[in-house]
């Protein structure tokens, strides 16, 4: 099948006209970033291009997809109830998960991160980790792109919205994280890193205030390069005889920040484990889609799978197969396999 034929299949599927699901999953799963860009440019009834020349999903079409999803769920519920069968929506293979994963997968990464950040702010404190994830696991250019997309989509800056919607002690850290533009070169000043490791150690051990309220802690974690912070982590362990995150057992947001900056595979495997547990709430479960879709193109996916297997004693694909069903499961497994 030619590229144009494949794009036609995708366009038909997203229009709601119906298509063979296995073909759709196969086509979507093998798309690379430049192919997704071609798809966006070639389907103007789904995407619009702003004055910064990046393609974003048309709001009206997203709303239409959501209506189609609800309609299909109602029909399926009605059919199963008539047969005397009870069903549970979560991870049952309904398009509510399936469609969302596919829409996110075809989005420009900047738009995807901007929309994920907006949704995290709406949901509140439980999802502040998503803001940390976007701010700390993306490159400086990727984060800048997400900020530009956010401005275009919502007519506000992400910094402004974080400052307005976050009211707790996390505000200063989160505003500084989403505003950051880190140096990404190879140079690290070891003496400075050693000195700042002492600063963090003293702040983490202080009894008079929480480390997240310490201006020096915020400055270091939001401005230093990832390599520099990794060096700080090494020196911290020499000072404390413990891993830096071990001293942050009750400071979840700071712990997530350090993991995303130093060992993102540790952070992502923990998030995936929570999402795949029985009894996880819907917000926690949504992280499965988010992490797999955003990380499938990254070299870190292999590390995430290795870390997950090491920590939890089971293959990530096997766990997804056990928990998810239908097209949703098949699509996620296709994306996970990209990082083999």
Annotated binding-site positions: 279
Binding-site residue ranges for Ca(2+)? 279
Tell whether the torsion through CA atoms of 120, 302, 315 and 88 is positive or negative.
positive
d(CA 147, CA 137): 14
d(CA 191, CA 186): 15
CB 55 within 8 A of CB 38: no
Q: Which residues of 309-318 are buried (b: 16+ CB within 10 A; e: fewer)?
A: beeeeeebbe
d(CA 243, CA 241): 7
Provide the 10 A C-beta neighbour count for residue 269. Answer: 24
For 48, the enclosing helix (H) or strand (E) is strand 47-49
Counted residue by residue, the chain has a size of: 340
CB 205 within 8 A of CB 249: no
């Amino acid at each position: 099948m030619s590229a144009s034929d494949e794009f036609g299949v995708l366009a038909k599927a997203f229009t709601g006209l119906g298509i063979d699901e296995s073909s759709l999953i196969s086509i979507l799963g093998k798309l690379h970033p430049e192919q997704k860009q071609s798809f966006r440019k070639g389907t103007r009834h789904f995407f619009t291009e702003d004055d910064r020349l990046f393609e974003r999903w048309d709001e009206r079409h997203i709303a239409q997809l959501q209506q189609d999803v609800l309609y299909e769920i109602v029909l399926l519920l009605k059919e199963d109830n008539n047969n005397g069968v009870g069903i549970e929506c979560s991870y049952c293979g309904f398009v509510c998960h399936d469609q969302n994963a596919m829409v996110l997968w075809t989005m420009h990464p900047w738009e995807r991160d901007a929309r994920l950040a907006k949704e995290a702010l709406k949901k509140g404190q439980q999802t502040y980790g998503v803001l940390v994830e976007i701010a700390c696991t993306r490159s400086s250019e990727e984060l800048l792109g997400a900020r530009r997309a956010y401005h275009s989509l919502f007519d506000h800056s992400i910094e402004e919205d974080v400052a307005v919607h976050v009211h707790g002690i996390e505000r200063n850290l989160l505003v500084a994280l989403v505003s950051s533009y880190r140096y990404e070169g190879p140079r690290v000043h070891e003496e400075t890193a050693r000195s700042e490791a002492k600063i963090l150690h003293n702040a983490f051990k202080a009894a008079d205030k929480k480390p997240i309220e310490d201006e020096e802690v915020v400055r270091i974690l939001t401005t230093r390069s990832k390599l520099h912070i990794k060096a700080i982590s090494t020196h911290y362990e020499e000072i404390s005889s413990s891993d830096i995150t071990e001293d942050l057992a009750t400071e979840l947001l700071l712990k997530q920040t350090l993991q995303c900056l130093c060992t993102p595979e540790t952070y992502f495997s923990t998030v995936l484990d929570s999402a795949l547990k029985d009894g996880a709430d819907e917000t926690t479960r949504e992280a499965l889609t988010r992490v797999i879709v955003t990380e499938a193109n990254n070299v870190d996916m292999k590390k995430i799978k290795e870390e997950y297997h090491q920590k939890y004693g089971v293959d990530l694909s096997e766990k997804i197969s056990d928990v998810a069903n239908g097209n949703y499961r098949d699509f996620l497994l296709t994306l996970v396999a990209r990082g083999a």
